[in-house]
Amino acid sequence: MKLVVFACLVAVAVAAPQIRGDAPEYAEIIAYENEDSGDGNFRYSFQTSNGINQNARGYPGSQGQSNIEGSFSFPLDDGRTADVTYIADENGFQPQSDLIPVAPPNPAHVEELLQIVAQLKAQGAQWNDQGERIN
């Protein structure tokens, strides 16, 4: 349910009028589809006159939640289009877009330390929530 509310809030935020200069620019909905089968399965899509598009398909999840797969796009001020696809399921909200920053790779010494930790875990080592080894 929280994911459906979040998706709706994103849609409303994206469709909000953009103010440029002295006059607001209003968007009109030029295409809209909405299907709800009543059993947890649904689909919707819309398109606005200012280039905003969204579509989503929802279905019941394995743990009683609503799973949603969808995408949205909107024009950016520099003329490009922001495209985002996402899955929201028991693993959380998982967006994909070229606009989402990606962390740089770990330095070699960090990878080495992670391998040491993995080896220690395989040998049964455990740590408390303060990072202190307890066995």
82, 99 contact by CB (below 8 A): yes
pLDDT score of 52:
94
Residues 5-40: tens digit of each pLDDT: 555 555 556 666 555 555 557 889 999 999 998 888
How crowded is residue 52: how many other Cβ atoms within 10 Å of its Cβ?
20
Tokens standing for 90?
A: 């028991």
71, 88 contact by CB (below 8 A): no
Q: Which residues pair with 34 in a beta bridge?
A: 44
For 80-89, b/e burial (b = at least 16 CB within 10 A) is eeeebebebb
Which amino acid, 37?
S
Residues 75-97: tens digit of each pLDDT: 999 999 999 999 999 989 999 99
pLDDT score of 1:
56
Residues 45-84: tens digit of each pLDDT: 999 999 999 999 999 988 888 899 999 999 999 999 999 9
**pTM, to two decimals:** 0.60
What percent of the chain has a predicted confidence (pLDDT) above 70? Answer: 82
Q: What angle do CA 48, 92, 87 make, to 5 degrees?
A: 40
